[in-house]
Amino acid sequence: MAPPAFSRETSGSRRELFPEIAPYGSGYMSVGDGHSVYWEQTGNPAGQAALFLHGGPGAGAGSVHRRFFDPRIWRVVLFDQRGAGRSRPLGRVEANSTPDLIADIEMLRRHLGIERWLLFGGSWGSTLALAYAQAHPDRVSACVLRGIFLGRESEVDWFLHGIRHVFPEAHAQFTGLLPEEERGDLLNAYRRRLNDPDPRVHGPAARAWSVYEGSCSTLLPHPELVSSFSRDRAALGLARIEAHYFAHRLFLPPEGLLGHMDRIRHIPAEIVQGRYDMVCPPVSALDLLAQWPAARLTMVPDAGHSALEPGTRAALLAALERFATA
């Protein structure tokens, strides 16, 4: 077996995001089951197609995510997954599963008349990219994935419990919302509150969950990022849907994503991983790389989980540049 492929940034790689850009098209697509998903397109309508898959699940896409793509080269599609961001209704967990999202992506691809596209996703976005690619490998030209999350029980357990060994203060605040007698089952204690219709119940729970994730997402403290996680609308979509997916093992098959890598082993991929990612630790990126002969990994030595940390941002821009000139 050939050794895993690793890449390094070159000194000439772009390090800053592209300028702000507005969509040239957007809309809502009814996907059934009472859900309507928001989508938009930016960049070059005649360019190479790329699909941005946001994290969470439930986080939603933002204007900053458009800026990873060279607008002269890429036709970029962004959408908010069921219950997230601008999609309607916010935070709805009914008829919200990984197979549902895969079907939504296919519906959107056909709606926009795209034959094949590059998938760009981080964290849960990497999970969904892998699941979609395994379901529809003939529709995927390449993948750029960051902060790998394979949806395994060990990864969810790390998020809920293991992070306390590195971020004890953040974890103490996360558990502190709950009475001591409920802290033995954090996931279900939070789910009960997040799904309570009373904003006085689900609001504080959503903010506590979301701030916990934001507080652990960067190598160095980043108060502005944490503040963005605490906004009520963003927090509710992220926390409620994330807890829903965690409780259902991310709606993945028993054998997990690594059990179906034979379907996509030929698809070229760039994996970008922060060495000190505490939300999605690097072991998952290495496990994925070992099963993906056409992939290579850039391990960013001075980054945590966030796509916007300087080293990770530069590595993602370089990965897209390589595929744009391939």
Please list, in sequence order, all residues whose beta carbon lies within 8 angstroms of the beta carbon of residue 93, skipping any fewer than 6 positions away.
83, 195, 240, 241, 244
**Is the Cβ–Cβ distance between 63 and 54 less than 8 Å?**
no
Residue recorded with tokens 């089951």: 33
Task: Kindly state the tokens that stand for 44.
Answer: 């070059």
- Residues with a catalytic annotation lie at 123, 277, 305
Supply the DSSP symbol for 121: E
How are the residues of the chain apportioned to helix, strand and coil, as percentages rounded to the nearest 5? 45, 15, 40
